[in-house]
Amino acid sequence: MKIEKDFSLKHHNTFGIDAQADWFVTYDSVDDLRILVRDEYFQECRYLHIGEGSNLLFLANFHGIVLRSGITGIEVLRESAEEIELRVGAGMIWDDFVAYCTEHGYYGVENLSLIPGQVGSSAIQNIGAYGVEVERFITSVHTLHRRSGQERCFSRGECAYAYRHSTFKEAEQADYIVTHVDFRLSKVEHLALDYADLKRYFAEHDTKPTLTSVRQAVIEIRQRKLPDTQILGNAGSYFMNPIVPAQVADRLRQAYPQMPVYPLEDGRVKLAAGWLIDQCGLKGYRMGRAGVYEHQALVLVNHGGATGQEIATLAEYVQQAVLERFAVEVYPEVKYIS
């Protein structure tokens, strides 16, 4: 366990916001966490658990303790000819886990390649991309309660997964710290290729989709659409795609026949937030040191030296523009920390 005081978070959030934390604690085991929860000062302090900081926007310095998991490793729990179940440390880099699965011939998470963050964050956020959400492969999430020190394993059903949501994002569950995540993956070829960008990629490359080539395709598509955080600070997709009643989507399609829509099983319709923002003429728009990425309207960027508040002000401007034009609200996927 490593404890640091008056710690700069600039390199621990992908927006590159130079916020400070009173304390920064990196722990490497469940035993480390048990020691922390027995500490009276830790119990009294405000705390924030982060992964790679890829879904956070610091609006101010953080007065309290920032925790970061260093629990890594992959354990095989069960294996058959068709499936394998793995237990993965919450602190493992998510894309390292995807690479491991691809190298070993385990199908399922390849469409989630190159998503920033840690394995624990993936289970909290229910990350998704290119027609796949991680909840499909999670069987259980192991946690330790920050105040009681009690360990609890949440089944997939208890995680209450929905679009970019889990029970761990609810206030009453905020004290559960994820330590490990269990996944069930297929050893039999099963590829999700319905997403338009993937269809287009393989049509253009005239290549047979395989586990390896799908991962490579996703990486190439993401690198083409999203800026490198080392060059332009960003958090990937800033806004969630809005989900609206079918009648709202029908009304909009009458006015905008080319608008992409994605019908859901419950009868509602998911709209493409990036398309809505683009139609407002905001792609490439700048507000001081903050801007909308010129190649993908769903991404807000730090052009250098922007504060978290500047990014948030730009986000509010984008939200208002979409609301005025389409009467649809878009909400940040990014979590604001003040």
Tell me: pLDDT of 263 over 90: yes
**Regarding predicted confidence, which is higher, 226 or 87?**
87
Tell me: pLDDT of 87 over 90: yes
Given CA atoms 37, 47, 6, 28 in this order, what sign does their dihedral have? positive
Per residue in 283-329, pLDDT tens? 999 999 999 999 999 999 999 999 999 999 999 999 999 999 999 99
Shared-domain flag, residues 48 and 123: no
Give the pLDDT confidence score for residue 206 in this predicted structure: 80
- In order of 23, 28, 149, 169, 333, the CA distances from 41 in angstroms are 11, 20, 15, 24, 32
Shared-domain flag, residues 110 and 182: yes
DSSP code per residue over 244-303:
E-HHHHHHHHHH-TT--EEE-TTS-EEE-HHHHHHHTT-TT-EETTEEE-TT-TT-EEE-
pTM for the predicted model, two decimal places: 0.89
- Calculate what percentage of the chain has a pLDDT beyond 70: 100
Tell me: pLDDT of 225 over 90: no
On average, the pLDDT of the chain sits at 95
Shared-domain flag, residues 85 and 105: yes
Give the pLDDT confidence score for residue 290 in this predicted structure: 98
Tell me: pLDDT of 136 over 90: yes
Give the pLDDT confidence score for residue 208 in this predicted structure: 87
Cα-only R_g, the chain: 20
- What is the rounded CA–CA span in Å between residue 49 and residue 38? 17
- What is the rounded CA–CA span in Å between residue 48 and residue 35? 17
Helices (H), the chain: 30-37, 40-44, 94-104, 119-125, 196-205, 211-225, 246-255, 273-279, 308-326
For residue 267, with 0-12 CB atoms within 10 Å meaning exposed, 13-18 middle and 19 or more buried, which class applies? exposed
Range of the domain at 153: 74-186
CATH number at 320 reads: 3.90.78.10
Shared-domain flag, residues 333 and 238: yes
Tell me: pLDDT of 73 over 90: yes
CATH number at 80 reads: 3.30.465.10
Give the pLDDT confidence score for residue 172 in this predicted structure: 87
Query: Which structure tokens are listed for 110?
Result: 């390849």
Query: Which structure tokens are listed for 103?
Result: 């190298």
Shared-domain flag, residues 244 and 291: yes
Per residue in 24-59, pLDDT tens? 999 999 999 999 989 998 999 999 999 999 999 999
User: Could you give the number of structural domains in the chain?
Assistant: 3
CATH number at 36 reads: 3.30.43.10
Which residues pair with residue 229 across a beta bridge? Answer: none
Shared-domain flag, residues 98 and 175: yes
Q: How far does the chain reach from its first CA to its final CA, in angstroms?
A: 26
Tell me: pLDDT of 13 over 90: yes
Q: Which residues are catalytic?
A: 164, 237, 333
Give the pLDDT confidence score for residue 292 in this predicted structure: 98
Q: Is residue 297 part of a domain?
A: yes
Give the pLDDT confidence score for residue 71 in this predicted structure: 98
Shared-domain flag, residues 88 and 38: no
Shared-domain flag, residues 174 and 85: yes
Which residue among 45, 69, 93 closes a domain?
69
Give the pLDDT confidence score for residue 10 in this predicted structure: 95
- In order of 90, 120, 124, 188, 216, the CA distances from 85 in angstroms are 15, 16, 19, 14, 24
Give the pLDDT confidence score for residue 107 in this predicted structure: 98
For residue 57, with 0-12 CB atoms within 10 Å meaning exposed, 13-18 middle and 19 or more buried, which class applies? buried
Split at pLDDT 50, 70, 90, the class of 207 is confident
Q: Are 254 and 248 in contact (CB under 8 A)?
A: no
Region 109-136: mean pLDDT is: 96
Q: Minimal CA–CA distance to 202: which of 218, 225, 222?
A: 218
Shared-domain flag, residues 100 and 149: yes
Which residue among 51, 69, 87 closes a domain?
69
Q: Is residue 191 part of a domain?
A: no
Shared-domain flag, residues 106 and 128: yes
Query: Which structure tokens are listed for 106?
Result: 């385990």
Q: Is residue 11 part of a domain?
A: yes
Per residue in 172-200, pLDDT tens? 898 999 999 999 999 999 999 999 899 99
Query: Which structure tokens are listed for 50?
Result: 């982060």
Q: Is residue 206 part of a domain?
A: no
